[in-house]
Structure 1
Amino acid sequence: MQARYMVGMAVDATGAGMYLPLSLLYFHHVTGLPVGQVGALISSAALIGLIGNPVSGVLVDRFGARTIVVGGYLVRAVGFTAYAFVHSPAPMFLAVLLVSFGDVSFSPSIQSFIAEIVQGQARDRMLAAQRSLRNAGLGLGGLIAAGVLALDADAAYLAVVLTAAVTYLLTALIMRSIPVPPGRHAPAGAKRGYRLVARNRPFLTLTLLNIPIAFGYMVLSVSLPVYVTQHLSTPASLIGVLYAINTFGIAVLQIPVTRALARYRRTRATALGAAVFCVSFVGFALLGLLPARSAVLAGVFLATALFTLGELLHGAAASALVASAAPAETRGRHLAVYQLSWAVPTALAPAVLTALLTFSPAGMWLVLALGVTASAVTLLGVEPRLPHDAVRPAPQAVTVG
């Protein structure tokens, strides 16, 4: 069962890795629109797509996580197939909007699915393996895309989007074949809506505490490239190296780090990851004060390594903590609400982080450091109010297949 799940994640990540590096370039190529207009259309569709988030939570609780996981992959497969026929702004917007609905259903449904098929510390290990495998798949997909696009032909762009569509279809078939243990999913009553989530104060606190950390996660793709090239005057080629350090580090180290953290409370591991993020952000802020170019380059690598360590400590532990803190009968709705703490910062990060960076490069890093520190401290305070099994998972777990 777990082997099939990991195969599905590998197929999914490889397809996503092929497309993600050229999402803007693809639509610019096929529509002839300026890159800025393409980006605005994609962001608009993504923001509208957020309305599908609460709907996906209800659907998970009503029909089961596996059904929504499979449905989300099928929606994206159809959307990516539609990309091949896009040649103007309106069809492009509609196709991206369709894919956005599939995207927003992924996190609450896949975390609920994992919670249904594995328990206890096995959940942490599976999430760690997933993060590791997805990073490796994204990197492999990026390399494949680079090779295909080196041909510099219209057929190359078409091949990438259609291959991504096929990978989503294959992943849907793989996920559909994974059995769900009897009794793990208990459909929730239709009248409950999101009222039970609104009454769950500790879970809502977890959701709010994730917002500063979600902004922190976005620096690698949004503000770090601008900061190191324009404010630290380092070569643009360094960006790819820093990204490789991050993805390779997570792919190789996530599983052993998660195993080492198994003896500790999930809340402590999550807070420690946020604390390491803080050290990394302070390090980035101080780089502008270094006079020697060699010291700046060494500092960039060190701060990026610390950022990666923060991800390793925080990522799998936080995901397992949240999935376990959500009541089983309304897990889909709880995780849909929690997903907003990722989706909204992801949508706002380009504007917010760019504005902060323009106002004060060092100030941006210090604001992020303050935010993640506040999250870490508050999380330790809310720990006694969280379910015991969410904080301290059972060492043994029941799985199927």
Structure 2
Amino acid sequence: MSKWKDHFGFPETRGKYGFLLVLIVDAFGAGLFLPLSVLYFQVTANLPLPAIGLTLTIATVCTLPLSLITGNLVDRFGARHITAISQIIQAFGFLGYLFVHTLSSLFGTAFLVTMGSRVFFAASASLIVDIASPHERDRWFGLVGAIRNIGLGIGGFLAGFVMATNNPDMYHLLIGCSALCYLVAGCLLLRLPEPEQRHHMQVAKEPVGTIWQNHLFLVFLLCNVTFPLCALMLTIALPVYVTEAVHAPGWIPGSALMLNSLLIIGGQTLVVRILEPYRRTRSIGAAALTWGVSCSFFAIALLISRTILIPYLFLAVAIHTLASLLYGPAVSALIADLAPASQRGRYLATYEFVWGIASALAPALFSLLYVVTPTLPWILLVILISASGISMLWLERRLPARAVRANKPSNNS
């Protein structure tokens, strides 16, 4: 491996450029659409905003069980095929968006897109494991996270120009480009050879329900529910809380979220490299502590002087982002090493199901607590994340050594 790659925490990518291209094209396609996910239907189909939000939410909730189903399919047919199929499903869904004029057609196409997205995230984690060498899984998860944020950033930048025109034809063009990205990524992935790790993996198949007998893993999942809630709260709660409760300038949320993306792009792989000698459970525990600090910062933002409020909020966002950098690659790699090889797809997909539950709960949880008092969502998160962090340290001694450490045991921790 090149010295510069190792220094900045990049994995060895030789012979895997085709898979990298697939991930980049997919991330760009997602970035084109996400900023327009609600506004598109309001501009092009003239549908009422509350009805759009409710329809998209119902479609999302209906697809939650697909994560669990996907895990079984991945273990049986391989992550490459299932990931490619998910991208093609999303491509057809986005093409359907070009013809949406009613709520019923919106639900049908949104269900297709959300189904593809749900299957993608449940399968792509296993694909990353198949691509990566066993000792580089953390680095690959970190690199993929950075790539996704680059795609979202570029796509969001282009989407901003389209939103400025308010021209339905431009909206249609952007959605068409997004569909093309998914179609290209899926077809390219189908043409690529089976990843090296998958090709050499010979394992005995185990019964589907075995995962539910692993009580240690179920406790681990329960302890991890709070982490995605914290991660999601930045995009869900920050815009409303900062502008309405804290009375900060309206440009702060967008700039803060841009800072979040830039920090992930520039720092994710480097953070993974720094953490490699340490236990993954310690990284997750550090993420819990860091999220607790950032949520506390947001909770007391109402008391901060106006003269330092803006830098204070950016500091809170930076701390919040650091927690995501500590948490994401470590937990995915830990689950991949915790799972038996024959059930790795099921284990990773079940964790994705937890993320799906959190994404469904987060908006409602924030709304209900916010109306009681604006700081209550942050206070509750501090309590929950503290309990999760302590639980993770309790689990550390009970988890297999192969899952706890990214590399061979060292004396650094």
TM norm structure 1:
0.94
Q: Which residue of 2 aligns with 1:399?
A: none
Contact in 1 for aligned 2:277/2:407 (Cα 8 Å): no
Report whether the alignment pairs 1:117 with 2:134: no
Q: Which residue of 1 aligns with 2:318?
A: 305
Instruction: Tell me, in whole angstroms, the C-alpha distance in 1 between the residues paired with 2:309 and 2:193.
Output: 49
The CA deviation at 1:188 is 3.0
Which of the residues 45, 56, 62 maps onto 1:42? Answer: 56
Tell me the amino acid that sits aligned with residue 293 of structure 1: R
Tell me the amino acid that sits aligned with residue 262 of structure 1: E
Report whether the alignment pairs 1:188 with 2:205: yes
Q: How does 1:74-85 map to 2 (within 5 A)?
A: 74-85=88-99
Report whether the alignment pairs 1:320 with 2:320: no
Q: State percent identity of aligned pairs.
A: 34
Q: Which residue of 1 aligns with 2:182?
A: 168
Q: What secondary structure does 2:308 align onto?
A: helix
Q: Which residue of 2 aligns with 1:253?
A: 267
Tell me the amino acid that sits aligned with residue 179 of structure 1: E
Q: Which residue of 1 aligns with 2:246?
A: 232
Q: Which residue of 2 aligns with 1:367?
A: 380
User: Closer, same or farther in 2 for the Cα pair 1:178/1:281, shift >3 Å?
Assistant: farther
User: Closer, same or farther in 2 for the Cα pair 1:173/1:187, shift >3 Å?
Assistant: farther
Aligned length: 392
Contact in 2 for aligned 1:64/1:187 (Cα 8 Å): no
Q: What secondary structure does 1:184 align onto?
A: coil
The CA deviation at 1:394 is 3.2
The CA deviation at 1:120 is 3.0
Gaps of 5+ in 1: 397-401
| RMSD over equivalenced CA pairs, Å | 1.6
Instruction: Tell me, in whole angstroms, the C-alpha distance in 1 between the residues paired with 2:378 and 2:359.
Output: 17
Q: How does 1:68-79 map to 2 (within 5 A)?
A: 68-79=82-93
Instruction: Tell me, in whole angstroms, the C-alpha distance in 2 between the residues paired with 1:359 and 1:326.
Output: 42
Instruction: Tell me, in whole angstroms, the C-alpha distance in 2 between the residues paired with 1:118 and 1:275.
Output: 29
Deviations 1:27-80 (A, max 9, x none): 122322211110000000010011222211111111111111111111101111
Contact in 1 for aligned 2:162/2:170 (Cα 8 Å): yes
Contact in 2 for aligned 1:223/1:357 (Cα 8 Å): no
Q: Which residue of 2 aligns with 1:60?
A: 74
Which of the residues 363, 366, 371 maps onto 1:353? Answer: 366
Deviations 1:319-361 (A, max 9, x none): 1112221211011222222112100110121111111122122
Q: What secondary structure does 2:37 align onto?
A: helix
Contact in 2 for aligned 1:80/1:161 (Cα 8 Å): yes
Report whether the alignment pairs 1:90 with 2:101: no
Contact in 1 for aligned 2:276/2:407 (Cα 8 Å): no
TM norm structure 2:
0.91
Report whether the alignment pairs 1:133 with 2:150: no
Q: What secondary structure does 1:297 align onto?
A: helix
Q: Which residue of 1 aligns with 2:114?
A: 100
Q: Which residue of 2 aligns with 1:339?
A: 352
Q: Which residue of 2 aligns with 1:31?
A: 45
Deviations 1:371-393 (A, max 9, x none): 11111111111112222211113
The CA deviation at 1:185 is 6.1
The runs of at least 4 consecutive aligned structure 1 residues that moved more than 4 Å come to none
Instruction: Tell me, in whole angstroms, the C-alpha distance in 2 between the residues paired with 1:14 and 1:100.
Output: 17
Contact in 1 for aligned 2:370/2:376 (Cα 8 Å): yes
User: Closer, same or farther in 2 for the Cα pair 1:171/1:363, shift >3 Å?
Assistant: same
The CA deviation at 1:178 is 4.5
Greater CA drift, 131-140 or 357-366: 357-366
Gaps of 5+ in 2: 1-14
Instruction: Tell me, in whole angstroms, the C-alpha distance in 1 between the residues paired with 2:108 and 2:131.
Output: 35
Instruction: Tell me, in whole angstroms, the C-alpha distance in 2 between the residues paired with 1:184 and 1:117.
Output: 12
Contact in 2 for aligned 1:72/1:106 (Cα 8 Å): yes
Contact in 2 for aligned 1:64/1:185 (Cα 8 Å): no
